[in-house]
Amino acid sequence: MVDLIIVVLGIIIGSFLNVCIYRLPRNQSILNPPSHCLDCNTQLKAWELIPIVSYFLLRGKCRYCGKSYSSRYPMVELITGLLFLWCLQIVGLRPELLKVCICTAFLIVITFIDYDYQLILDKVLLWFAGAGVAINLYIGYPHIADMLIAALVGGGLLLIIAVLTKGGMGGGDIKFVAVLGLWLGVKLIIVTLFLSFFIGGVGGALLLVLKVKGRKDFIPFGPFIATGAFISMLFGSELVWWYFHTIAK
């Protein structure tokens, strides 16, 4: 029963994340106007806003003008629900579950906006940073010193890479990792960076092989950082233990 509640909650939150992903890069309010068809501007009724279900009931089209809706909407809702369920399975019903779910929601928004626009918005990072500090103070870990050091270490390492590569790393990525340091602490931000570069290398190669991206196309690094951070949140401590007891032994 708890699993079902978490999935449904995640799907509902995913619906709100869709609003953020679409409106924030366009400097639009995420509260007003209410949800409406983007083509005919007709305000949608409550039953037309039921996450996932309404998309299939309407066959993916606006019932007023017939314009097709993007399949991304139910996809983001489903992804959010499934990731929340995964967080529950790993973390359990503890205060930390709230932390990883909130962080996951931010990571989803940042991932899709960066993929679409190659842009990590400062206003999202400010809310992300504030939420991270507040929830860590509530939970009691990482401590303030650990958060600040992690932000400096994570952001500083990417800044060094950006300087050495003469702009090979974007300013948004640097700030993103610094904010993640506030969430994760020193140990996990280092794991996040390692995973980000590893996943980025493999993921970038796959995008080229599958011809999703060309050799001259820009591949945003934010989604790889977000993936690394998510894995680090759930499995970072185990990965550190595995490394020091196998690889570095």
Q: Are the CB atoms for 87 and 100 separated by under 8 Å?
A: yes
Percent of the chain with pLDDT over 70: 99
CA gap 140, 191 in Å, rounded: 21
Q: What is the 3-state secondary structure (H, E, C) of 224-248?
A: HHHHHHHHHHHHHHHHHHHHHHHHC
Report residue 70's pLDDT band, with 50, 70 and 90 as the boundaries. very high
CA gap 74, 84 in Å, rounded: 15
What mean pLDDT, rounded, does the chain reach? 92
- Domain residues of the chain, as ranges? 1-93, 120-249
Q: What is the pLDDT of residue 240?
A: 87
Whether 248 has a pLDDT exceeding 70, the answer reads no
Q: pTM of the full predicted structure?
A: 0.95
Report residue 249's pLDDT band, with 50, 70 and 90 as the boundaries. low
Residue 65 vs residues 39, 68, 70: alpha-carbon distances, Å: 8, 9, 15
Q: What is the pLDDT of residue 230?
A: 98
pLDDT in tens, 175-209: 999 999 999 999 999 999 999 999 999 988 888 88
Please confirm whether the linkage preceding 74 is cis (ω < 30° from 0).
no
Q: What is the pLDDT of residue 247?
A: 73
Residue 142 CB neighbours (<10 A): 22
Residue 61's DSSP bridge partners are 68
Closest Cα to residue 184, out of 193, 172, 197? 193
Closest Cα to residue 169, out of 181, 157, 179, 180? 157
Q: What is the DSSP letter of 68?
A: B
pLDDT in tens, 233-246: 999 989 988 887 78
Whether 215 has a pLDDT exceeding 80, the answer reads no
pLDDT in tens, 20-42: 999 999 999 998 988 888 889 88
